[in-house]
Every structure is written in structure tokens, then in C-alpha cells.
Amino acid sequence: MSADTPTPAARRLACPRCLRPASSCLCALARPTPHRTPVLVLQHPQEQRQAKNSVALLRLSLQHCEVVVGEHFAPAVLNAWLHRPGWDTRLLYPDVPAAPAPHLPAAPAGLPLRLVVLDATWRKSLRLLLAHPALAALPRLALVAPPPTRYRSIRAARRPDQVSTLEATVQALAQLEGPGFHAQPLLDAFDRFVQQVAARRGGAGTEAV
Ligand SMILES: [Zn+2]
């Protein structure tokens, strides 16, 4: 049975909270993680179906995290998701030649930040950005430092150019919120999640996550 096409019986067995099959329920791994910057994840439909995807654990753990699944968004719908009055919304994305960051006047000082994160492969996230001018027009937040060394063992299990959405989001929140943001329990839980996925696939240490 393919993981992409669960039988009706398997769907019935899905956990009502994390919406995953009971055999891979993530709820026990969730670590409530206080933070003040709301996170909106735009998730490519292909990612939603991946057992190895990290966003379900992120959504279960962050107190203010919305996930919208889609590939093509109508401008009005996307604008409603992206812009909330009284908030300064930033897109977690580097300033790259293929999609340069916009030059914008600074937002009024004192506005609280919201973070928009794209959950897709590098190629698909770039396509998403280029196809949606409202996304490309958002001020960017780029990660300023590489992930801490202690995660190298997990990262080594992936393609070198790929950092999970969970790790990137956690790093961005740490960057924005400083030492008051305590992500270690969530990162430890993510470590266990990576090990569980690898163990289920019988390819521990070699699976791209
Ligand atoms: Zn669950």
C-alpha cells in the first residue's frame, strides 16, 4: 500500500489531532513551545503527504502556528492569509538572485512580527514565490547563522542543501525572540521523530528527511 493513497480503513484510523495514521501518530512527540511570533506555514501539497515531513510536529508544538496547504493561491485569498492589520509580516526566505528581496520602506516601529514559512523543496518554494507576487513582495527574514553543531548528525542524514522546515522555523524564532525562546525540547523531539521515520523505513541514517 502506498503511503500516498491510504485505504478508507487507514483513513478511519487517522489520529484526530495530528491527522496521521495511528501507526505514525506524532502527538506523543509534541512539545508545547511558547513563542510570541505567530507562524503561517504555506505547505506544498506534496509535503503534506510525506511521512518524513516536519511541519505536523511543528504545528502540534508551537502555540501560534497555522498551516495552509496549496500550490496555486488566488491573490485575494493569499493576501488575506499574508496580511493582518497591526502586524509586520516577514517571509523566511533568503535574498537570492533568482528571487531578490524587495526594497521596502521599514514597517512602522513597534509592530509585532509574523513569520511566513514555505514548506516545499527548494525548487518548489522558489516556484511558489515567483508565481505569487504578494509573497515575493513581503519583506524577508534570512537566517543569519548556520544551525548549531549539535544537529549535524541529523542533518547528515539529509541532502546537504536541505534543512527541515521545523529546524529553519525554530532557528528563525530563536533569531527573532532571543534567549527567551526555548526550543531545545522540540528539537530533541524532532531528533526522535527523524530516528522513528528512519527506523520505520528500515534505512536508519540513509533516509533523506
Ligand atoms: Zn496524533
From ligand 1's centre to the CA of 57, what distance in Å?
10
From ligand 1's centre to the CA of 173, what distance in Å?
24
Q: Please report which helix (H) or strand (E) contains residue 171, including its range.
A: helix 165-177
From ligand 1's centre to the CA of 192, what distance in Å?
15
The residue-averaged pLDDT of 98-105 equals 88
Tell me the torsion sign for CA atoms 157, 163, 166, 168.
positive
Place of cell 513597534: 110
3-state secondary structure at position 56:
helix
Task: With a cut of 50, say whether residue 205 has pLDDT above it.
Answer: no
Strand 88-92 to strand 140-141: parallel, antiparallel, or no bridges (unpaired)?
Answer: parallel
From ligand 1's centre to the CA of 45, what distance in Å?
20
Task: With a cut of 60, say whether residue 149 has pLDDT above it.
Answer: no
From ligand 1's centre to the CA of 204, what distance in Å?
23
DSSP lists the bridge partners of residue 21 as: 14
Task: With a cut of 60, say whether residue 151 has pLDDT above it.
Answer: no
What is the structure's pLDDT at 204?
A: 45
